[in-house]
Amino acid sequence: MSGSTARLDAIKAINAGYKVESMNFAKTPVTELYGSNVFTDEVMKDRIPKAAYKSFQKTLEDSGKLDESVADCIATAMKDWAIDKGATHFAHVFYPLTGSTAEKHDAFVAPDGVGKCVTEFNGRTLIQGEPDGSSFPNGGIRDTFEARGYTAWDITSPTYVLECDNGTTLCIPTIFVSWTGEALDKKTPVLRSMDALDKAAQRVLKLLGNTHVRKVSSSAGPEQEYFLVDNNFYYARPDLVSSDRTLFGASPAKGQEFDDHYFGAIPDRVLACMMEVERELYKLAIPVKTRHNEVAPGQYEIAPVFESANLATDHQMLMMYMVKRVAKKHGMTAIFHEKPFAGLNGSGKHLNWSLGNSSQGNLLDPGKDPHKNTQFLLFCAAVISAVDKHAGLLRGAIASASNDHRLGANEAPPAIISVYLGDQLNDIFEQIRKTGSAATSKKGGVMDFGMSAVPDLLKDAGDRNRTSPFAFTGNRFEFRAVGASQSIAGPIVALNTILAEALGEIGDTLESKINGGGDAEKASMEIIKELVDKHWRVVFNGNGYEDAWQDEAAKRGLKNLKTTPEALKELITPEVKETFKKLNVLSEVELDSRFNIYNEQYVMKINVEANLTEKVAQLSILPAAIRYQTELAENAMSLKAAGVEGDNTTLKNVTGLINSLVTAIDALKKARDKHFEDLAEEASYFAATVIPAMNDVRDVVDALEGIVADDLWPLPNYTEMLFIK
């Protein structure tokens, strides 16, 4: 009896190698390549009249309305520039609540009535589009038959051309709203939250005595982790193809325990892929800076430097698209699922977040003497208070079926939201709590290695903490709990909004104290002490992976929301609704819609996985196990006929596991048969019942993988997928 040759064929195909396109950065330096496919400020300035350019810049600076005649001028220049680049179509690009990117392409071409054609693109077409709004998730905002939706140009995010093998498209970043005005996308609330944060931050800065205050913007730099799997293996795994994670898979003999993959030499094939990704991203002015092997075998990271939060959100979606697209050219599939391989490190998207402007700089930069930097301490205290007050919201903002597999595991921050400050900041705030002021700042110093060949190194004043979900890392906070597959829009909206609320309350108190004759410096220190005293429970500088922290967090009254159904309820609490409504970021209707959509997505995701678990186990694993059982039984009979007493332990084990598998598959079917009218109730049921039933099937399958003859096993195993490149 012979087994499938699919796995051997896959390995042979990989060993045949792939022809990689040569990239010569000496001929075209990165400095020339960078932004070459973006309609930059410089390009606009060269292509439109001076008066129109000045009007557009004033609109950007003052957050005003764009004059239609200026829009016509810009549209003509964009069209001509794009056509020069080979573009035939334009597309309004938007980010619906599916969590992915959407676009509708229209041609520049229009018939001229005499058998020829002309190219058309005006200001109104640039500013507004109308895709079908009925087929995107709206969470109950509108009925399915009510189809009208609008896209509107986001003038703060530059347009660009996207090159494909057979053509080029002018891409216009837009918001997406319903006919009745509600946000149906990820971008609209990002822009609203940035406006709210700007208003609140400027007010506080002016109360602190700053006479020249420019627009304040949040900034972001997400570190993207991902896995690469050869396509020959990927397409032989139905679970990876349909759910982006392995629903089965026994632990490999060698995993990540040696830590030899982390920051190791990048395999040639992977490096070639990375370099091509970077080349394409440079053309789009996406400032990718870092590439390296991550902890798990087959896992990698790409990270950009800081940008305005809105632009960083757009660029993050483009980055994910480009990594997947280029990986295909190199015969691999990029996987962004948070936990594609059980027992190995999952993938996060560590969101580095800060705020600042051109007049005051980075408002979360402590400077050389943080204890003297009252402005920094006030903004930092605002962040601490906001995170404590809205920890549930932050957990809800990063909740998903896939991220649940990662949060709380040994390589990821726990589902308890806490703040890590580091030694230096922790000491300063402790001084303020005790005396109302701070007199000293811990210094970093110099690290002397005692050898002439190595120069002395500057030592930071505090260590880093990789177990914290929200850690201060020098001049920013790092929201480490964000999942690799997620848009950073949701976390940014939450962070911007809760900080805007905290700064608004600080502004009220500070203004009251100053109007009462108080000194701004003294009043600020009083506010800082009050805030850290009230919200110190959220500060934790220890090991978030230890079980003791779970108990300690409970004593402090911190929430431990381990599943998405629990966490999503935090999006619709009265406190959250009031905060978002007050700051005009999301209405009650818009929040309710997101709660409904995310619960539905959770149920659909788990249902797909459960369906796959059942089918693969029933149609692939069970037949393979029965074939092996038959081989063992026939062998036992042959031995018995020959008068030889054989050891039937393996046969008994396989038979027992087959029976257990049949039972587990049946239990999973029954679990999936139950449905609820209420989506939130159904999501909770799936978390409590369907997922454990899936895990029971997996336990049996993984046990069988360790027994069934290798030539009969139908699925590529972990060793093959992770180590063969």
458-475 confidence digits (pLDDT tens) = 777 777 778 899 999 999
- Is 7 part of any domain? no
User: Of 564, 580, 601, which residue constitutes the final position of a domain?
Assistant: 601
pLDDT at 449: 74
Tell which residue, 350, 286, 345, 356, has the closest CA to residue 321. 286
Both tokens of 516, joined, read 């009462």
CA distances for 67 relative to 58, 59, 124, 361, 466, angstroms: 11, 9, 11, 31, 48
Q: Compute CA distances 449 → 320, 454, 597, whole Å.
A: 41, 7, 56
3-state secondary structure of 91: strand
pLDDT at residue number 1: 43
Give the CATH number, domain containing residue 438.
3.30.590.10
Per-residue pLDDT at 132: 76
Residue 528 has pLDDT above 90, yes or no: yes
Q: Which pLDDT does position 137 carry in this prediction?
A: 85
Q: How far apart are CA 383 and CA 178, in angstroms?
A: 33
pLDDT tens digits, 480-507 = 999 999 999 999 999 999 999 999 999 9
Of residues 702 and 119, the one with the higher pLDDT is 702
Query: For residue 4, is pLDDT > 70?
Result: no
What angle do the packed helices 574-582 and 588-616 form, to 10 degrees?
120
Q: Where do we find the tokens 């038979």? A: 655
Inter-residue contact 419 to 553 (CB < 8 Å): no
In single-letter form, the type of residue at position 427 comes to: D
How many domains in the chain?
3
Q: What are phi and psi of 335, to 5 degrees?
A: -115, 125
- Do residue 175 and residue 248 come from a single domain? no
Domain co-membership, 224 together with 98 = no
Q: Residue 505 carries which side chain, given as an amino acid letter?
A: E
Q: Is there a domain that residue 609 lies in?
A: yes
Write out the residue range of the structural domain in which residue 179 sits: 35-185
Does 445 share its domain with 583? yes
Question: Where is pLDDT greater, at 391 or 4?
Answer: 391
pLDDT tens digits along 221-241 = 999 999 999 999 999 999 999
pLDDT band, very low/low/confident/very high, at 444 (cuts 50, 70, 90): confident
| pLDDT bracket for residue 15 (50, 70, 90) | low
In a domain, 639, yes or no: yes
Query: Do residues 360 and 447 share a domain?
Result: yes
Q: What is the mean pLDDT of the chain?
A: 92
pLDDT at 649: 92
Q: Are 516 and 615 found together in one domain?
A: no
**Model pLDDT, residue 715:** 96
Q: Give domain status of residue 128, yes or no.
A: yes
> Are residues 343 and 466 part of one domain?
yes
| Statement to judge: residues 710 and 609 lie in one domain | yes
Q: Label residue 110 by pLDDT band (50, 70, 90).
A: confident
Q: Which residue has the tokens 């964009």?
A: 78
Is 22 among the domain residues? no
Say yes or no: 522 and 657 in one domain.
no
- Contact between residue 495 and residue 478 where contact means Cβ atoms under 8 Å apart: no
Residue 486: inside a domain: yes
Of 391, 389, 466, 384, give the one whose Cα is nearest residue 428.
384
User: Mapping DSSP to helix (H, G, I), strand (E, B) and coil, where does residue 183 land?
Assistant: strand
In angstroms, rounded to a whole number, what is the distance separating the alpha carbons of residues 33 and 543?
A: 44
> What single-letter amino acid sits at 88?
T
- Single out the residue in 601, 632, 666 at which a domain terminates: 601
pLDDT band at 30 (very low <50, low <70, confident <90, very high): confident
Domain CATH number, residue 124: 3.10.20.70
- Residue 12 covered by a domain: no
Biggest CA pair distance of the chain: 105
Whether residues 580 and 528 share a domain: the answer is yes
Same domain, 262 and 361: yes
**Distance between CA atoms of residues 708 and 126, nearest Å:** 61
Q: What is the mean pLDDT of residues 24-31?
A: 77
With a cut of 70, say whether residue 45 has pLDDT above it: yes
Of 601, 634, 655, the residue that ends a domain is 601
291-347 pLDDT per residue, tens: 999 999 999 999 999 999 999 999 999 999 999 999 999 999 999 999 999 999 999
What are the distances in angstroms from CA 126 to CA 37, 138, 523?
18, 25, 49
- Percent of the chain beyond pLDDT 70? 96
Q: Which H or E element spans position 581?
A: helix 574-582
Contact status, residue 179 vs residue 171, Cβ threshold 8 Å: no
C-alpha 160/C-alpha 489 separation (Å) is 20
549 and 630: one domain? no
| CATH number for the domain harbouring residue 696 | 1.20.120.1560
Task: Give the DSSP H/E element, type plus range, for residue 84.
Answer: helix 68-84
Is-contact 352 223, C-beta < 8 A? Answer: yes
Whether pLDDT at 20 is above 60? no
Position 314: which residue type? Answer: D
The model's confidence at residue 542, banded by pLDDT at 50, 70 and 90, is: very high
Is 20 inside any structural domain?
no
User: How would DSSP label each residue in 550-573?
Assistant: HHHHHHHT--B--SHHHHHGGGGS
Q: Are residues 427 and 359 in the same domain?
A: yes
